[in-house]
Structure 1
Amino acid sequence: MFAERSPASLWPGSEERVPVSSRSSPPVSSRRRLVLHIDLNNTVLVSDSVTGLGTEAALDGFLPGVTWGRVHKGQWEWLNAVSYFSQFGRTAAFTSSSTGRPSLCPQPDTDLSVRGEDGRLYHWLLPSFFQLLIDLTSEGVDFAVVFRTFGTDLPRVLRAVSRVLREGHPLFHKLPQMFVDETPGKIRCSQKGVVLSRGPERVTSAGDDGARRLYSCLSAAHGIQGFRDHFDWWAGHSFSLAGGKPLWIDPFDPEVQHIFIDDNIRLSDQDTIVHPMVFSAPGSSIARSASSSELYDVALVQTDLLQAIADPHYFTRKVHECEDNYRHNLLHEVSATDLVTRAASLCSV
């Protein structure tokens, strides 16, 4: 049913989606198992090991593009108009200026903090990530986290998360007990397909049922684990969807929903970081490339780093939003298919 619809009509537009402010967490009985693919740099880490940017430099690159206002009588005023970046371009000292100083809290723990260029300690792993684990666990959700990054921080992140879940976090009284696989895996792409590997284990998309095998492998993810994706493949495709981090989605699967959260997810397929592939029929092994716009806020979430810093429940809200949109649109598609089937049977009488 999905293959027969144009990309624009695959999922109803945002105007048909439930406003975040009116949402509550869906009842557990109606929820699929969640596999959350979560980027690291500028998503749960305020840094970027690919470009070598530290905390302040990463914020300097991000915040001017999402902070809005105008120049009035020679002074910057905040309002919903144009971004600071569009007026002044990249500002190297944005976060240390009176205009852009961040509200990150110092954290004197070597696994949880990073020293900024100014010598102060900042959160390295955002508290909103740990709040997400707490929230979903308290809601009784069956879920797994799969870190997906181009950077080199994955081994340290896995070790840090493992230690925090064992020994605690100074901002949280109780964290869920979750298994953390501290062995990072790799995802490599080529003209022959995609290969997932961790240690001696290896799963490939080669063969007629390769895409289905990879989907099943990721759907069975347990606890918290991670893969380093293939940056050179993405760069070789001009940083477009075609070379992005692969994500398989089966809209006919009644048990599992995959959600990818990354700051570089964009509506333009020419400048986005995830390559979603959607299975075309129940049980099918054929997955077609899907546009980012089809799955935006359904299976793809573009991280708002400012919100992730300021709102401890940011990631939880975005997951709930995707669950709502996914469920709503699946019901819409199934109802439409039933009507077509019913009409065809009447015509054949």
Structure 2
Amino acid sequence: MAEERNGAENGGVTGTDEDYGPVVSVPAGIGFLNHVRKKRLVIHIDLNNTILVSDAVTGQGTVAALEYFLTSVTWGKKNDHGKWEWLSDAPSLHPPSSDAVSYYSQFGRVPGFTSVAGRRFKGVLDEHLEQLRWPEGIKGDKELSVRGEDGRLYHWILPSFFQLLRDLTQEEWEFSILFRTFGTDLPRVLRAVSRAVNEGAHPLFPDLPELKLSLNLTPGKIRCSKRAIVVSRAEERASSLDGDRGLYQYFSAVHGLGGFQDHFDWWASNSFSLRGGKPVWIDPFDQQVQHIFIDDNIRVNDEDTIVHPKVFLDPGGSDTRTASTFELYDITLVQTDLLRAISDPSYFTQRVHICLENYERNVQHGVM
């Protein structure tokens, strides 16, 4: 029996190495990181079901969004009589067997999932909703808290995201955070993060202004076509017409926190596959910068994933190849385990540490 994969404890999504596909190296901890030459980290991070448990596009509140996520990480199949049979008793990011499909893949969005077919997962829902509660006795914040469909007050942005900012600063990394979303929540997210990092408005992280983090409140756009990828934000502009190297340099040089709306229609026109996904450029020859992308829709099936990794072929060159998700899983691509991101304040920090170690090892061994 495969040993349980690192990172599956503490009430999050669980599974074995067989369940998860790529095997994740377990970092040796801060001791190891002290030996990794400090580089600049550019962390691209999704919003919905990654740092937000809600969705403005679909109108889902906190409860509905978490129930939806559960339908995507619970597994079963139809038997010979056409009846659905569960193959898992606990959520997991990856199927427990080759013939398993997620409940969402089979039935789509099902309102009140844990009150009907998914009753066995009601305890998981209730546990994580409780962990999402806004601190009792503290007045809600118009940007940082949200009232759920059940009338209770919840965190709108996961505390584990703000913990990541604190941890990276304390570990003395030079870093930038780029929100990457297909949705419409980006302007509000930027305002909410500003409330926390500039005004100290978050009750759990009142010290964030001391970190002196810069924040660009202007949302950018990334638009893709067969001809080119164009990135724009206010007066800034970069295009792949000038080569992929220019876009890599643009994102590598962005400072502080900011965000870009990616091109949903392009992803849809590419059948929601890797080639239509959110682009990210990876240069394994660059010892100064490492890019990491965190998104709940990153999957090892390249026909059903959301990020398009483009890896440079030569030092300083402009030619890239499309890498598979499997190749870069937990090296530069992180599939968000939303349940762990809710239950474990250090979740995002741990995933970044894992990527740092795996990336360093792969570069040293000439794998990338």
TM range (shorter): 0.7 to 0.9
SS of equivalent residue, structure 1 residue 40? coil
Matched, 1:58 2:65: yes
> CA offsets per residue over residues 163-205 of structure 1, 9 Å max, x none?
2112212012422220000000000001111000011221111
SS of equivalent residue, structure 1 residue 30? coil
CA–CA distance in structure 2, aligned partners of residues 50 and 289 of structure 1: 30
> CA offsets per residue over residues 7-32 of structure 1, 9 Å max, x none?
xxxxxx955x5325x43360176132
For 1:117, the aligned partner's letter is E
SS of equivalent residue, structure 2 residue 366? helix
| Aligned partner (choices 146, 151, 158) of residue 119 of structure 1 | 151
For 1:258, the aligned partner's letter is H
**Which TM-score applies when normalising by structure 1?**
0.83
Report deviation, 1:93: 2.4
For 1:307, the aligned partner's letter is R
Report deviation, 1:77: 9.7
Q: How does 1:256-275 map to 2 (within 5 A)?
A: 256-275=289-308
SS of equivalent residue, structure 1 residue 308? helix
| Aligned partner (choices 232, 240, 244) of residue 205 of structure 1 | 240
| Aligned partner (choices 29, 38, 52) of residue 23 of structure 1 | 29
CA–CA distance in structure 1, aligned partners of residues 91 and 70 of structure 2: 14
Contact 1:56 1:95 in 2 (8 A): no
| Aligned partner (choices 106, 111, 116) of residue 134 of structure 2 | 106
CA–CA distance in structure 2, aligned partners of residues 206 and 116 of structure 1: 45
Counterpart position of 1:278: 311
> Could you say if the C-alpha distance between residues 80 and 186 of structure 1 is closer, same or farther in structure 2, counting changes exceeding 3 Å?
closer
Q: Percent identity?
A: 58
CA–CA distance in structure 2, aligned partners of residues 126 and 163 of structure 1: 14
CA–CA distance in structure 2, aligned partners of residues 292 and 80 of structure 1: 21
SS of equivalent residue, structure 1 residue 320? helix
Q: How does 1:301-316 map to 2 (within 5 A)?
A: 301-316=334-349
CA–CA distance in structure 2, aligned partners of residues 215 and 145 of structure 1: 15
Provide structure 2 residue ranges, at least 5 long, that are not aligned to the other structure.
Answer: 1-20, 77-86
Counterpart position of 2:55: 48
| Aligned partner (choices 119, 132, 139) of residue 171 of structure 2 | 139
RMSD, matched Cα: 2.8
> Could you say if the C-alpha distance between residues 325 and 110 of structure 1 is closer, same or farther in structure 2, counting changes exceeding 3 Å?
same
Matched, 1:191 2:226: yes
> Could you say if the C-alpha distance between residues 152 and 259 of structure 1 is closer, same or farther in structure 2, counting changes exceeding 3 Å?
same
Q: How many residues align?
A: 316
CA–CA distance in structure 2, aligned partners of residues 288 and 77 of structure 1: 37
Contact 2:310 2:321 in 1 (8 A): yes
Provide structure 1 residue ranges, at least 5 long, that are not aligned to the other structure.
Answer: 1-12, 70-75, 337-349
> Which 10-residue stretch deviates more, 121-130 or 108-117?
108-117
Mark the structure with the bigger radius of gyration: 1
Contact 1:261 1:302 in 2 (8 A): yes
Counterpart position of 2:356: 323
CA–CA distance in structure 2, aligned partners of residues 19 and 201 of structure 1: 39
SS of equivalent residue, structure 1 residue 41? coil
> Which 10-residue stretch deviates more, 324-333 or 50-59?
50-59
CA–CA distance in structure 1, aligned partners of residues 90 and 338 of structure 2: 19
CA–CA distance in structure 2, aligned partners of residues 79 and 159 of structure 1: 36
CA–CA distance in structure 1, aligned partners of residues 309 and 103 of structure 2: 30
Report deviation, 1:51: 2.7
